[in-house]
């Protein structure tokens, strides 16, 4: 346990930041999962409404990832990797490969 006032304060601040980061990461994972779900829904039943939902979920996830990187919740390379995963999934859903 911390012995002086400043170190006690640092412990409290660290705990507060940990909880905020945890909530932020949880929201980020939810948005990413929502985007992947929209991709699979569009693949099964393509249409204008499904495509609109897909694009909206992609934009929301990208925005949240960028904000997480800006706040320091996520490393910038991790953010780029996640955005790449999302955009690849969306491209596969919209333009299925002809094999």
**Would you give per-residue pLDDT tens digits along the chain (99 residues)?**
778 999 999 999 999 999 999 999 999 999 999 999 999 999 988 889 999 999 999 999 999 999 999 999 999 999 999 999 999 999 999 887 544
Residue with tokens 């006032």: 5
The CATH number assigned to the domain holding 33 equals: 1.20.58.110
CA pair distance 75, 98, nearest whole angstrom? 35
In a domain, 98, yes or no: no
Query: How many domains would you assign to the chain?
Result: 1
In a domain, 50, yes or no: yes
Residue with tokens 């706040």: 71
In a domain, 97, yes or no: no
Q: Flag whether the pTM goes above 0.75.
A: yes
Q: Which domain holds residue 64?
A: 5-92
């Amino acid at each position: 346990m911390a012995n002086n006032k400043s170190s006690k304060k640092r412990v409290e601040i660290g705990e507060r930041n940990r909880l905020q980061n945890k909530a932020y990461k949880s929201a980020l994972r939810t948005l990413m999962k929502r985007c992947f779900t929209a991709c699979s829904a569009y693949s099964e039943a393509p249409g204008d409404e499904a495509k609109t939902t897909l694009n909206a979920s992609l934009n929301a996830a990208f925005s949240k990832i960028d904000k997480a990187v800006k706040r320091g919740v996520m490393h910038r390379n991790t953010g780029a990797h996640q955005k790449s995963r999302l955009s690849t999934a969306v491209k596969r859903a919209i333009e299925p490969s002809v094999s």
